[in-house]
Amino acid sequence: MISNGIAGWMAKRNLHYGWVVAATTFLTMLATAGAMGSAGVMIQPLHQEFGWDIADISTAMAVRLVLFGLLGPFAAAFMNHFGIRQVVSTALGMIVFGILASFFMTEVWHLLLLWGVVIGVGTGMTALVLGATVASR
């Protein structure tokens, strides 16, 4: 595995592997925060480009925010049951898929599905509990 190779490389240089974990956790939380924060910037361009109603766009963003908040306690349980690496990998995959697929959206329901549900679940699985879960281990 890659982590064993990195751990061995770091051990030879008398560095603790915890720094890799801390840096990876920081970058994951930063990417999640970017996906959460970027949605508000898209409202006006989506309205101008597609002519979608601002209320419809805001509904998709509200769904994203609700799922982000609701999944926190479940994300901690998933991390304890399936492991942090599996849950975070899945969540980051969902975020990347949602962002990349949004380049091809043409209908409001695409926005609701991708930015509301897919990115909402992906960000909810990492942002609120990832740092606390990693720090407690």
Contacting residues for 20 by C-beta, under 8 A, at least 6 apart: 3, 6, 7, 10
How many domains does the chain contain in total? 1
Residue showing tokens 């942090």: 84
| Domain presence at residue 103 | yes
| Domain presence at residue 8 | no
| Domain presence at residue 15 | no
Residue-wise pLDDT tens digits, 64-82: 999 999 998 899 889 889 9
| Domain presence at residue 16 | no
Residue-wise pLDDT tens digits, 106-137: 999 999 999 999 999 999 998 778 877 777 77
Structural domain containing residue 97:
25-136
Instruction: Name the amino acid, one letter, at 104.
Output: F
Contacting residues for 89 by C-beta, under 8 A, at least 6 apart: none
- Cα–Cα distance measured from residue 74 to residue 129, given in angstroms and rounded to the nearest whole number: 10
| Domain presence at residue 18 | no
Query: How much is the pTM?
Result: 0.84
Q: What secondary structure does DSSP assign to 104-129, as a single string? A: G--SHHHHIIIIIIIHHHHHHTTTTT
| Domain presence at residue 20 | no
